Structure 1
Amino acid sequence: MPVPTSPAPLRTSLLRDSVHDRLRDAIVDGTLAPGEVVRDTELAAWLGVSRTPVREALLRLGDTGLVRAAPGRSTVVAEIDLAEVRDAHAVVVAMHRLAVTEAVSRLTTGDLDRMREANARFAAAIDARDTEAALAADDDFHRVAVEVSGNRALATVLDQFTPVVRRLERRRFASHAGSESVDLHARLVEACASRDEQAAADVASRTWQNLADLIPDPADRPDQQESR
């Protein structure tokens, strides 16, 4: 059949995704704080859209654990659940390792330059203690391998679970671990440039594994120890 000429479905899809991304980012950066009640009418007014895309976005955010809702009750921004962050982190580490493994042989000189440029911006943001800029540059850096891998399933999984990790990762870039990541990024670029798949995969894992130090083991929490 002929390709439809009406652009309406595309606009609807873009609006839905845009609303979801705005709300997701507001939760990750703390604009919408943990425990805060979120109402679709208020969110719709804030974003200048109807309630329908907001409701759809909240359902998707519920699937990733960023909001909690119960039938007939309020929807609230989820508290940071360390067990969920730990699970999501393990998935994110594995996916970035896979992305680098699949991308190494395909990375061009231009791709490697994009990674170096992003790491330079990342280093400058860390020095300036600009968390927002650091996170943006870090995303740009890792996005190169994800895009070059061409693995859509991998990208979809990361899109779902990375925001869960990012809520805690904001603390990382205010610590020494942020500076360490600059060096790890540089090592990753060089491993990729050398087409050393194993070394690149190992560095990619190490880069994301650093965040594990910021995820306390629930079993080590005082309240859990008292209940033993």
Structure 2
Amino acid sequence: MPIPMESLAPRPLLRDDVHQRLRDAIVDGTLTPGERLRDQDLAAWLGVSRTPVREALLRLGQAGLVHAAPGRSTTVATLDARAIRDAQAVVAAMHRLAVEQAVPQLGPADLEAMREANERFADALRRGDAEAAVTADDAFHAVAVRAAANTAVETVLDQYTPVLRRLERLRFGSLSGRASVALHERIIERCAAGDAGAAGDVAHETWETLRPLIETLESENA
């Protein structure tokens, strides 16, 4: 049969949807550090077969969100300071690159989207709503990532940003994340001025604010 000419609306692949749902459950704490993960239980919870669950767990293991010991059970990874430090360095570098590449492509609508996201971010911090703060922060940074249209950057960020989001929820649940609001404003200003280098520097600085939390985690684990 010839392939129909009309296009179908795009939809996420089942394995990608399962991966995202499990990843989000780990990041938001639904699945807690050290919790044992049985693929049959997860498949029943998500209403899917065990195959996409196993594929998702493999990807989550590569990102450092789950730990699978050979011949033993798979568990949700604990907050590992070394893994988080490594992820932070990579994510900071990728956002610097994304912003630098995005600046020539950003239009007024993009800058307004960044402002609106930052306003939602600031409001969520005032209310101590970590979930809303993370969502708004994602929306803010996503503007530049989309504009950069660098699939390599997007792939790396998709893998390693969730590692940091687990830690950030501790900060965004308090007022200690307020410095990021001002940094976001500086990014917007530099982008509006067309200064790609300066905008990239501030984007990198934004993700460097996680270092004190990482150092605290390292001292707690020492």
TM-score of the superposed pair, with normalisation by structure 2: 0.92
The answer to whether 1:14 aligns with 2:13 is: yes
Query: Corresponding residue for 2:81?
Result: 82
TM-score of the superposed pair, with normalisation by structure 1: 0.90
Gaps of 5+ in 2: none
Query: Corresponding residue for 1:70?
Result: 69
Correspondence list, 1:65-214, <5 A: 65-214=64-213
Aligned residues: 220
Q: 1:16 to 1:64 in 2, by over 3 A?
A: same
Matched-pair contact (CA < 8 Å) for 2:67–2:74:
yes
Query: Corresponding residue for 1:54?
Result: 53
1:53-80, CA deviations, whole angstroms, 9 ceiling, x for partnerless residues? 1111011111111111123311101111
Q: Tell me which stretches of 4 or more aligned residues in structure 1 moved more than 4 Å.
A: 2-5
Q: Give the deviation of 1:176 after TM superposition.
A: 3.6
Matched-pair contact (CA < 8 Å) for 1:177–1:210:
no
Correspondence list, 1:13-32, <5 A: 14-32=13-31
Q: 1:110 to 1:69 in 2, by over 3 A?
A: same
Query: Corresponding residue for 2:40?
Result: 41
For the residue of structure 2 that corresponds to 1:34, the secondary structure is coil
Query: Which one-letter code corresponds to 1:136 in the other structure?
Result: T
For the residue of structure 2 that corresponds to 1:80, the secondary structure is coil
Matched-pair contact (CA < 8 Å) for 1:123–1:182:
yes
Query: Corresponding residue for 2:219?
Result: 221
Q: Give the deviation of 1:4 after TM superposition.
A: 7.4
Q: Give the deviation of 1:223 after TM superposition.
A: 7.1
Query: Which one-letter code corresponds to 1:163 in the other structure?
Result: P
Query: Which one-letter code corresponds to 2:55 in the other structure?
Result: E
Matched-pair contact (CA < 8 Å) for 1:104–1:195:
yes
1:150-180, CA deviations, whole angstroms, 9 ceiling, x for partnerless residues? 1000000000100111111111213443111
Q: Could you tell me the percent identity over the aligned residues? A: 62
CA distance in structure 1 between the aligned counterparts of 2:221 and 2:209, rounded to whole angstroms: 26
Matched-pair contact (CA < 8 Å) for 1:37–1:77:
yes
Matched-pair contact (CA < 8 Å) for 2:98–2:148:
yes
Query: Which one-letter code corresponds to 1:221 in the other structure?
Result: S
Matched-pair contact (CA < 8 Å) for 1:131–1:170:
yes
CA distance in structure 1 between the aligned counterparts of 2:26 and 2:203, rounded to whole angstroms: 26
CA distance in structure 2 between the aligned counterparts of 1:223 and 1:153, rounded to whole angstroms: 33
Gaps of 5+ in 1: none
